Each structure stands twice: as C-alpha cells, then as structure tokens.
Amino acid sequence: MNGMSLNVIPCETNLKTDGKDKVGPCPVCKGPGSFVKNVTVRNMISDHLLESVGNFDYYLCMDDDCKISYYNNDFKIKFEKNDVKVPIWFKKDAKPKYACYCSKVTEEQIINAVISEKAANMKEVLEITGAMTNPNCQINNPLGKCCHHTIQEIIDKSLIK
C-alpha cells in the first residue's frame, strides 16, 4: 500500500457546510455547540421525550465534561446526554465509544485494526472493521454528520503510537 487515493466516498452529510457549525453557547457550560438538524435530534432523543423536541433545529454541546447534549437557546430547551438513545462518543464515560454509528464500530475496534492487524490507512481499516458500510449518518450519528473524519483522527492517533 502506498499513498494511492482511497475508494472511500464519505456520505453526503459530510459535504454540506452551512456556516452554522460551532456557534451558540451551551446554556450550562457556555462552551461551543455544533449545529444539528431536527431530523437527527428526532432520531436520537429517547422516545418518551420526543414530544418536547418540536420542529426546530438544535446544537450539540461539544464539551466532553458537560452533561448537556442537544439544546436550543431560542426555545429555551435542553436535553442531557442521558436523554439520548446512544452514548455520545466524545462525552466523558461514553460506553461504548462508537466511531461509526451506522455500522456500530467502536473506537477500540479501529485502534485494534491499526495496532494489532497493521491496517495502514482508511481503506484497510474499513475492510477489517466493516465501518462505513451502509452509511446513513444523518439519522445514526449524534452530530448528523459522516463519521469519516472521526475515524481518520483515530487512525492518525493510533499510527503515531
């Protein structure tokens, strides 16, 4: 394997930037949030809380220590991470830490593919782990975005070790 281009096509959620990323402070920690569409939040919030989600979009608190997940300051509504059906991977104590939510592949599996199975790049990691098969990140990933970048970051970190 050399540096040839990979046959990995990130799903389309990755390609859209609407300029709304990383704005709007979290009502609790005052840290930055990341814009998340209503359709994503609807799929993430526990069923018994669905009625309070409304039709508007949200931000996701990006602070690993903060217990808040989605919030909308205009409507004065916030949810905690425990109100979400899946663990949010970057929050403290997330278990398991999913790297790819669509295929349920964990950070640990990606690290193992690199360290133990000597995967040298994204393509090999995806072959070993099965990550990013059937991507539907808009409804499966808490950020509503493709996990491509997250996986690449884990690979990069693992290769340095």
Q: For residue 48, give the nearest of 84, 4, 2, 15 by alpha carbon.
A: 84
What are the residue ranges of helices labelled H in 7-119?
38-44, 107-115
Q: How far is the CB of 160 from Zn ion (least distance, A)?
A: 29
Region from 28-36, 96-104, 111-119, 142-150 binding Zn ion, contact rule CB under 5 A: 28-36
Q: How far is the CB of 63 from Zn ion (least distance, A)?
A: 5
Region from 20-28, 89-97, 106-114, 142-150 binding Zn ion, contact rule CB under 5 A: 20-28
Is 63 a residue that touches Zn ion (CB under 5 A)? yes
The DSSP secondary-structure symbol of 13 reads: G
Q: How far is the CB of 32 from Zn ion (least distance, A)?
A: 9
In this chain, which of 11, 36, 60, 66 binds Zn ion, going by CB under 5 A? 66
Q: How far is the CB of 47 from Zn ion (least distance, A)?
A: 24
Is 62 a residue that touches Zn ion (CB under 5 A)? no
Sign of CA dihedral 85, 91, 95, 100: positive
* Rounded Cα distance, 147 and 139, in Å: 12
CA distances from 11 to 23, 114, 126 (A): 24, 23, 14
